[in-house]
Structure formats: structure tokens, C-alpha cells
A and B are shown apart, each in its own frame.
Chain A
């Protein structure tokens, strides 16, 4: 059980180090970096490399943004397996519905509750 925590910490940290390298070395803006990582996530899943990583690292692979790309692709491929080409469209948000809906919902609730301050 403890080993899951350690692997999650290490794999999560490494993915963030890659993001930091994209920030500092490749001089990408945060938005570009996140898009690159999402695309990388979905390509990795296409090659079937991301699922074993989730098995190995648990939250270390599902929390970073690469898991968003992965679950989109995974849903699309799972549905495409059953229904062919149309499945690619129908299955897209099959797996990852909670991420987007939670972000939209909590974003709006935050807009109602909070007021931004400028303190450092």
C-alpha cells in the first residue's frame, strides 16, 4: 500500500519536471505546455503505454493533465472497438466526464462566492 504512495509521488513529480523543462528550456507559455502534455498523453495512450503507467503509479498518472488526453483517447478507442469509426466520436467524453463538469461547476460556484484580491 505504501509503495503506491511512493510511486505516485515519483511519477507525478517526473511528469511535472517535464512540464517545468518545457517552461524553462523550451520557453513555452503555460498554455502551450499544457496542450503539449495533453497531446502527449493521448499519443501515449494510442501506443498503449499510458494504461500500464496508471496501473503502476495510480494517482501519479491520473492527476497530471496527461491523463486528460489519455482518458479522451481511451474512451474514443473503446467505443471505436465496438461501433467502428462513429465510435471515435461517441466515445470521446465517455471516461473523463467528471474532470470537465467539475471544472465548469466549481468555476461558476467560485465566481459566485469569491472576489479576487491583489495582495502578494
Chain B
């Protein structure tokens, strides 16, 4: 009787793992960019689009700060820190004078999504600073 349970569960596990890996890659509506500066956002969209490790991206561009919250594919999460570094370099090359912060953390994605709806400038600045301090925190 033992053997059958183990085989059944093994099968179930394998199917779940396959399902995880096969999630969709980037497409048009999975990138949200909120930009209230005169910077050209086309290049940022390019950076996120052709990086197939990402699944979703939310970007806020506000005077000299760019805040990007990305969600990576399941098995890419092993190299989350490396992905963050790559994107940061690319974006800094694209927008040299802008201060870039890229984070693959869930919290940042949630907060940036909320921020895209905030209208007044003051509130937006405060939020960006809060997110910056959050992501540096160790404990």
C-alpha cells in the first residue's frame, strides 16, 4: 500500500513543478510604466520586454528617480539578486542622470503598483523614499 501512495504523490509533485516552469513570458500588458517626467520611456519598456526572465514589471518615473518593481519567473528566483543588478545597469545606461532602484521583492511590486495611482507629487516623493529605506533594511 505504501508504494502506491508514494508513486501517486511523486506524480503530483512532478506535474506541479512542470506547471511552475511553464508560466507565460513577458507581453504587452504586463509592463506598467507611470511617467510624469519628460524622459522617453520607450527604452525602459525595451529593457523589460526583451528580458524573458521577468514576468511582470511596474515602473514609476518621477523627476530624477526611477523605481522598478519586477516579478521574476519561479525558477529564475534563484538568481533574483543578479537579475536586479543587470536591470539596474541597463537602466542606468539608458537614463544616466536618473537615480535607479530595481527590486524583485514582492512588497516593492505591491507598493509601486499602488503608487501609479497616486496623483499629488508630495505623496509620491514620500512613498519613493519609504520604499528605498524598506529595501535597504536588513532585519
Contacts and interface: CB of A to CB of B under 8 A. Distances in A.
B85 interface: no
A89 to B, nearest CB: 17
B138 A52 contact: no
Task: Specify the main secondary structure of chain A where it touches its partner.
Answer: helix
A72 to B, nearest CB: 13
A26 to B, nearest CB: 21
Interface stretch (B26-34, B75-83, B93-101, B115-123): B75-83
A52 B139 contact: no
| Chain B interface bracket (under 10, 10 to 19, 20 to 34, 35 or more) | 10 to 19
Nearest to A10: B13
Contact of A95 (B77, B79, B138): B138
Interface residues of A, number: 16
Contacts of B106: 1, 4
18 contacts: A3-B20, A3-B74, A6-B16, A6-B20, A7-B20, A7-B74, A7-B77, A51-B81, A52-B77, A52-B78, A52-B81, A55-B78, A55-B80, A55-B81, A56-B74, A94-B138, A97-B139, A98-B139
